[in-house]
Structure 1
Amino acid sequence: MSRWGKREDMIVHEAEPYNAEPPPRALADRALTPVDTFYSRNHGPIPRLDPRAWRLSVDGEVERELALSLSDLRSGFEHRTLTATLQCAGNRRAGLIEVGDIPGEAPWGSGAISTAEWTGVRLADVLGAAGLGPRAAHVAFAAPDVAAEADPPQPYGGSIPVAKALAGEVLLAWGMNGAPLPAVHGGPVRVVVPGHIGARSVKWVHRVTAQERPSDNYFQATVYRLLTADADPSATGPGDGLSLGPVAVNADILRPGDGEVLPAGATEISGYAFAGERGVARVDVSLDLGDSWVQADLDERADPWAWRLWRVTLDLPVGPAVITARAWDTAAACQPESARHLWNPKGYVNNSWARIHVIGRD
């Protein structure tokens, strides 16, 4: 077991702050991702907080300011457990880097996405106890981890619209896969915002603020925004580009691996599909660059906020082959064909068709 209790074969993009993803095969055929396999995205050093000393402040546009201990959360509100997938906004960035260089950004593969069972209380219930004021339009979260990359350096933060904050699926979670939430994943308490980019699920949360406008934190106002392809990230500032929130339909191939040499003939291909606030309706797989498609079998979702695993068996020919997969959501939106049309200078939201190259042998 490596640092932070992660498996030894994690792909570590950065040791400090710790940023790592599992190899794709480690995610295959697992509706829930084990904690030692779950990806980790951080902007600053991981804090070690004493659960007994932790406090949550609830303030801003509220009728009653609150100061809650972990014991207060556990005893004062109904517990909720749900299964939800978290996906980094930079998931599959490596595919965009193949199109054009993206300096300063980690080359995340297809493993910056994972699914866990989260236990905690509804954010809506806590906000209800505080009493939202009429001017509250956004709910901001603050954490203690200071990010040196921020300008100026500052603790991590972000916000979500009040309508999402009041939806029953958003949690203040202290449990992950039936165990206390580990420090590397935001323990003792984190926010879990199902269906939105992972950046909004703020870890180590210690303050919740109801306010009129979105958070002015660097990671809400400047980072995690989709810029135009010709933009210079060093010259952009707060409010530039499109703020990222709900995730787009996405899918990738987990097995076989890219570059594998396999026996020709019947070959099982499997992967994941995720559509966030919409459901996954279909996954298609092709062996002829998309000239024809075979519909994959979809596993049942453990929860409306979880990914769907898929699999299909196709007849792999002898020689080089490209396996392509694409997903459709319940609004009939399909993944775009080419990463070239999605390239942006921060490398966000690559949801182009998944492709791997394999070789079939006699």
Structure 2
Amino acid sequence: MRDSQSVFAAAKSATMQVVQAEPLNAGAPLDELVNAYIQPNSQFFVRTHGTVPTLDPETTSITIHGLIAEPWSISVGEIKQQLPYVEQVATLQCAGNRRQEMHAYKAIYGELPWGANGLSTARWGGAPLRALLEHCAIQPAAKHLLGLSYDQVERHGQTFGYGGSIPLNEPMIEHALLAYTMNGEALPALHGGPLRLLIPGIVGARSIKWLRSLEFSAEPSHNYFQRRAYRLAQSSEPEAWHKAPMLHELPVNAVVCQPAPDQTLATGVITLAGYAITGGQALIERVEISLDQGQHWQTANLIDEPKLGCWSRWQADLELVAGEYECWVRATDTLGQQQPDQPAWNVKGYHHNAIQRLHLTVR
């Protein structure tokens, strides 16, 4: 095992903003984030819960077991040799993205203070998950696919591997990868190398890094990160946690990345730039800007063609005279899902997607 900070120092841009030093969590500055549709590996956001495993890029194996005819294993090298290779662009997003804004609405304790930079986009390569599933004689009772990581995480006095699950009837499984390349390079250890799950459109917590095993089960994973963390609980009471929904699809969201919130702007045409994203099988349909608290909306230009499981950057030109403005931004997707006016507050600060409000000073 390696500490994530030493791996980070060797692999990441000096401008990355560290949210937590160990285990490492970091993201690119917002104004840099939207300069490119695909982020280089050195600027891709980092979300870790424990140590970074040291694993052989060829001989490391994953075990497939549970409700199938018989358990078996396959190495990363065998996956490369025996299963087809495909590439696709996809955005991964942390469940805590925009948590600082939710905290400003109502306090959130004991969680990482993520801004709106807890996401990134890359070109991923690997074997389609479906190709591996076709080699499994799955029993009818199997309803969920459980993943487990080689990493080591400590919670409440116990040490275990990170884990999570997705329903087997999840449509985005058809787009999921057993990824072993990232932007044309071998998948870096910091991002799950030598092998990770990649499930576009679903919260990043389910795209398990350093993949150790896949299990077919009648129930969702009993791992801490499926049953306890990553749930939308409204209080810390045990009953509230038990009833709270587990995180799954990403919510529709839009964020302003440029200009910076505290920047004083010159009168005239001001360009706003940012990103929008949604989850599941939806696509971003439009992004809108309002300067009168939602009475009137101006449609922004989408720079990138909306694609399944990917963000779209947007831009809007506003002609402003001197004054103070409250700028609202919201996104709508092709399923009619639109950002709400107010946050859906929860104990962990997950899935914040309320209309973003930005104060603009024009002189």
TM range (shorter): over 0.9
Residue matched to 1:322: 326
Residue 28 of structure 1 and its aligned partner are, at CA, apart by 1.2
Residue matched to 1:159: 165
Residue matched to 1:351: 353
Q: Are 2:201 and 2:308, in contact at CA under 8 Å, matched by a contact in 1? A: no
| Equivalent-residue separation in structure 1 for 2:217 and 2:248 (angstroms) | 18
- Alignment equivalent of 1:296, drawn from 292, 295, 300: 300
Residue 66 of structure 1 and its aligned partner are, at CA, apart by 2.4
- Alignment equivalent of 1:33, drawn from 22, 33, 39: 39
| Equivalent-residue separation in structure 2 for 1:42 and 1:237 (angstroms) | 26
Paired residue secondary structure (2:78): helix
Q: Are 1:301 and 1:307, in contact at CA under 8 Å, matched by a contact in 2? A: no
Runs of 4+ in 1 over 6 A off after TM superposition: none
Residue 2 of structure 1 and its aligned partner are, at CA, apart by 5.7
Residue matched to 2:212: 206
- Is 1:310 the equivalent of 2:281? no
Residue matched to 2:275: 272
Residue matched to 2:226: 220
Residue 151 of structure 1 and its aligned partner are, at CA, apart by 6.0
When residues 330 and 294 of structure 1 are mapped into structure 2, their CA distance, relative to the original with a 3 A threshold, is same
Paired residue secondary structure (2:226): helix
Q: Deviations over 1:190-248 (max 9, x none)?
A: 000111100000000010111111000000011000012xx126x46873411110111
- Is 1:67 the equivalent of 2:73? yes
Residue 64 of structure 1 and its aligned partner are, at CA, apart by 3.8
Letter in 1 for 2:289: V
Q: Gaps spanning 5+ residues in structure 1: where? A: none
Indicate the RMSD between aligned Cα atoms, in angstroms.
1.8
Q: Deviations over 1:19-62 (max 9, x none)?
A: 11111111113211121111111111122212133111111111
- Is 1:110 the equivalent of 2:103? no
Does 134-143 or 49-58 show the bigger shift? 49-58
Q: Are 2:172 and 2:199, in contact at CA under 8 Å, matched by a contact in 1? A: no
State percent identity of aligned pairs.
Answer: 35
Residue matched to 1:252: 255
Give the TM-score normalised by structure 2. 0.93
Q: Deviations over 1:258-294 (max 9, x none)?
A: 1111111101111111111211111001223322211
Q: Deviations over 1:125-176 (max 9, x none)?
A: 1111122111110000001212113563321000000122883201110011
When residues 4 and 326 of structure 1 are mapped into structure 2, their CA distance, relative to the original with a 3 A threshold, is farther
| Equivalent-residue separation in structure 2 for 1:2 and 1:59 (angstroms) | 33
Letter in 1 for 2:49: H
| Equivalent-residue separation in structure 2 for 1:36 and 1:11 (angstroms) | 12
- Is 1:50 the equivalent of 2:52? no
Residue 179 of structure 1 and its aligned partner are, at CA, apart by 0.9
When residues 165 and 76 of structure 1 are mapped into structure 2, their CA distance, relative to the original with a 3 A threshold, is farther
Tell me the matched-pair count: 356
Letter in 2 for 1:290: G
Q: Are 2:287 and 2:300, in contact at CA under 8 Å, matched by a contact in 1? A: yes
Q: Are 2:327 and 2:360, in contact at CA under 8 Å, matched by a contact in 1? A: yes
